[in-house]
Every structure is written in structure tokens, then in C-alpha cells.
Amino acid sequence: MQAEQIYTNARVVTATDVFVGTVAVRDGVIHDVSEGRSQLPKAEDLDGDYLMPGLIELHTDNLEKYMNPRPGVDWPSESAVLAHDAQVISAGITTVFDALAIGDVNPKGDRLKQLPVMLDAITHAQGQGHTRAEHRLHLRCELSHAKTLDMFHELVGNPLVQLVSVMDHSPGQRQFVKLEKYREYYQGKYHLNDADMDAFIALQLDNSRQYSDRYRRAIVDECRERSLSVASHDDATLDHARESAEYGMCIAEFPTTVEAAEASHSMGLKVLMGAPNIVRGGSHSGNVAAADLASQGVLDILSSDYYPASLLQAACMLADQDNAYELPAAVATISKAPAEAAGLLDRGEIHAGLNADLLRVRKHKKQFVVQRVWRNGNRVF
């Protein structure tokens, strides 16, 4: 890494403005941000391309696609991590929270078996310096599962864990208030006959009664002691939002209604929605559209969820829509806001003193195209 790098003639996107300017980097940290072009001979001319902060992804299960590229196929775990990392960095994501599911409602699933394998592979690849993005861990805790609390206690001490979310996917809860929608979704997803589906519903209801409230309280208390960020998931009502706020959660992941999103936002939770929701024009499960929340001014964070490239594309589309999100605000939903929500105060915007995680981006028609990526001043793409 050079001791100093200077990038000029760039359309610099800060948290509040866009201007033609110059960014100087020293020893991996942004040293200076200024308007105008540098005349220094060592300054690199970016030809009017955008210079943006590296993107922060809080919730993605993209790694699972590489661990199991086809049904019944288990790919070597570290190879899977490196392939996932390559896709993430090429999408402009310099910090990624890989979501690991604790508790699996799938009666035929093997997520629990894969969990320690994925954890070890991420930890080893990052420890050896093989990853280009910085990887953190997001523990997704399915409360209506008997083993969730024990597994959480086993994993929460990993130094890469920085975000925890709690969720209850049992029938009648959150995303599935209507039992017929729950039956339709899971019976189709897991290919269950009617008798098996009836047994599945009975088991999930019983598990929720036994574990959900107790596990939620225990997990949140542990996170508070460890100063970890906590997210709710699929809040649907005002009562859900109030409960999350009372627990001291800081993120509301994928609220399913405008009511829940507005309440969460007003109570200080950062409302996180899927970037694919913006790109596709709505929720694939029929819940509230992220664009509708943007029009109400209550969309705080975007997550690529299952499609890394959607993050930058969604920000581009968000800035072009009829709402209050100009480009700086749209970019903040995928950089500054998620960084702050996760307690990462050393990154997320182009500002002197912060990490030099940067993107050179060119706009082509209605899409941003990543040209280069730097992390801590080092070019990684």
C-alpha cells in the first residue's frame, strides 16, 4: 500500500452532498476531503466517476448458495467462502455481516449441521488474510427451536459476532399472522403432504409457546452484556415495535407493514428493508414495499439479503424515485446508516479520519457499475 494516495476529479458522495472534488488517503485512512481538482502530479484522475464509501451489508445468507450450489451437493467450505467473498467485493461491499441461522424450522433441512462448518471457514479465511471484504457475523436466532439458546451461547463469544437478530416464524406470528398463508408458504417450500403439514404446524406452535418469549429475553440480555447490536425481525404491529423498543433493539429488520415501520422508526429503531424489494418493485412475499416506506421517509437501511449486487442498484433507483432520498441519503442507507447501527464508527462515509473503504462507480443508464474497490486504502477489486 502506498503511503499516500490522492484521487481527484471525482464526484465525491459524502453523507450530505455530492461535489467534484479530491480525496487524499494516508496509511489506509481518509486524510482529507476537499472540493476542486488537485494539481499534484501524483493525483489520480477519476474522470468524473463517483467516489462513494464502501458498502456495509448487515444481513446476507449469500454464502449458503456457495456451500450448497445444488441440492445434495456440499462444496468445500473455504472455497465457498472465497467465492462468496469475491462476489461481495465486486458488488462494492467492503464490510459484510454473514448471517448464520441458529435454529432451523425446515423439517428436512441441514442448516444446523452446516453452521459450525460455515463459522470455521469464515473465521479461518479471514484470519489467514484470504478475504478481500471484512467479514463479521450476524447470528439469526429462530426462537421457536429447542436448541437455539444453547447454540447461541456456544457461538456468541466468537470475536467476529457483532449483530444478533431474534425471530419467530411460527404460525400466527409476525410474517405469518394468517394461518392459511403460513400453510401455503411452508407446505410448498418443504413439499409436505397435508398430514405432515398438520404435524409441522402443531410442532411449531408448541415450540413457540415453550421457548420464544424465554429465549428472546435471555438472548437480548446476553447481547446487552456484550454490547452487541440486536435486531427485531418481521415486526407487523405497533405492539411488536413497542416490544422491540422496550428490549433496547436498534434495528427493525423487514417490518411487514407501514404501521410497524413507522412506529419502529419513531421509537429510534433503524428500519432495514431488502434491496431486492426496491429493485423488483415490491416484496416477493406480498408484504409492504420498501419504496412505500421510502415515500414516508422511514426507510433507514437497505440489505442485499440474497443478492449482493442489489445493494448498489437499489440505492441508484431509490435516488431516482419520487421521495426525499437524494443520492447522498440513498447511499447512506447502504453505508453510513448500517455502519452506525452495527456500532462500526470507523467507516461508512467519506470523511477525514475514517477508514479508506472506497468505491469508484460509473453510472450507466439507470445502474451504477463498480469500477474499483479499496479497503483500508488497498485496492481489492
DSSP for 57-122 reads EEEE-HHHHHH-SSTT----HHHHHHHHHHHHHHTTEEEEEEEEEES---TT--HHHHHHHHHHHH
> What is the mean pLDDT of the segment spanning 147-154?
93
Query: b/e for 206-228, b at 16 or more Cβ within 10 A?
Result: ebbeebbeebbebbbebbeeeeb
Query: Higher-confidence residue: 195 or 105?
Result: 195
List beta partners, residue 379. 374
Query: Measured at the alpha carbon of residue 162, what is the angle toward residues 160 and 168, in degrees to the nearest 5?
Result: 120
> What is the mean pLDDT of the segment spanning 205-219?
91
Q: Is the pLDDT of residue 111 over 90?
A: no
Residues counted in the chain: 381
Please check whether residue 290 is in contact with residue 273, taking contact to mean a CB–CB distance below 8 angstroms: yes
d(CA 350, CA 70): 40
d(CA 64, CA 330): 28
pLDDT by residue (tens digit) across 6-55? 999 999 999 999 999 999 999 999 999 999 999 999 999 999 999 999 99
Query: Higher-confidence residue: 293 or 174?
Result: 293
Backbone angles phi, psi at 365, to 5 degrees: 55, -115
Q: Is the pLDDT of residue 191 over 80?
A: yes
> What is the mean pLDDT of the segment spanning 261-278?
97
What pLDDT sits at residue 107? 56
Confidence of residue 228 (pLDDT cuts 50, 70, 90): very high
**Which 3-state string (H, E, C) describes 115-161?**
HHHHHHHHHHHHHCCCCCCEEEEEEEEECCCCCHHHHHHHHCCCCCE
Q: Is the pLDDT of residue 1 over 80?
A: no
What pLDDT sits at residue 106? 61
The separation between the first and the last C-alpha atoms of the chain, rounded to the nearest angstrom, is 14
What pLDDT sits at residue 196? 85
Q: What's the mean pLDDT when you consider all of the chain?
A: 92
d(CA 291, CA 314): 10
What pLDDT sits at residue 128? 95
Please check whether residue 168 is in contact with residue 141, taking contact to mean a CB–CB distance below 8 angstroms: no
Q: Return all residues near 153 (Cβ < 8 A) that are at least 6 apart.
A: 222
- Smallest CA-to-CA distance from 372 within 4, 5, 3 is with 5
Q: Which residue has the cell 467534484?
A: 20
| Amino acid making up residue 110 | D
What pLDDT sits at residue 284? 66
Q: How many Cβ atoms are within 10 Å of 117's Cβ, its own excluded?
A: 15
What pLDDT sits at residue 189? 74
d(CA 317, CA 336): 18
Q: Is the pLDDT of residue 375 over 60?
A: yes
Cell of 53: 464509501
Report which secondary-structure segment, H or E, holds 379.
Answer: strand 378-379
What domains does the chain contain, in order, with CATH numbers? 1-53+349-381 (2.30.40.10), 55-346 (3.20.20.140)
d(CA 173, CA 230): 19
> What is the mean pLDDT of the segment spanning 215-232?
96
Report which secondary-structure segment, H or E, holds 232.
Answer: strand 229-233
Q: Is the pLDDT of residue 109 over 60?
A: no
d(CA 159, CA 136): 9
What pLDDT sits at residue 91? 98
Least confident of 94-108, 200-214, 220-234: 94-108
Q: Is the pLDDT of residue 268 over 90?
A: yes
Give the CA distances from residue 273 to residues 138, 290, 342, in Å, rounded to whole numbers and listed in that order: 16, 6, 15
> What is the mean pLDDT of the segment spanning 175-198?
76
What pLDDT sits at residue 214? 95
What pLDDT sits at residue 105? 60
Confidence of residue 316 (pLDDT cuts 50, 70, 90): very high
The percent of residues in the chain predicted with pLDDT above 70, rounded, is 94
| Amino acid making up residue 344 | L
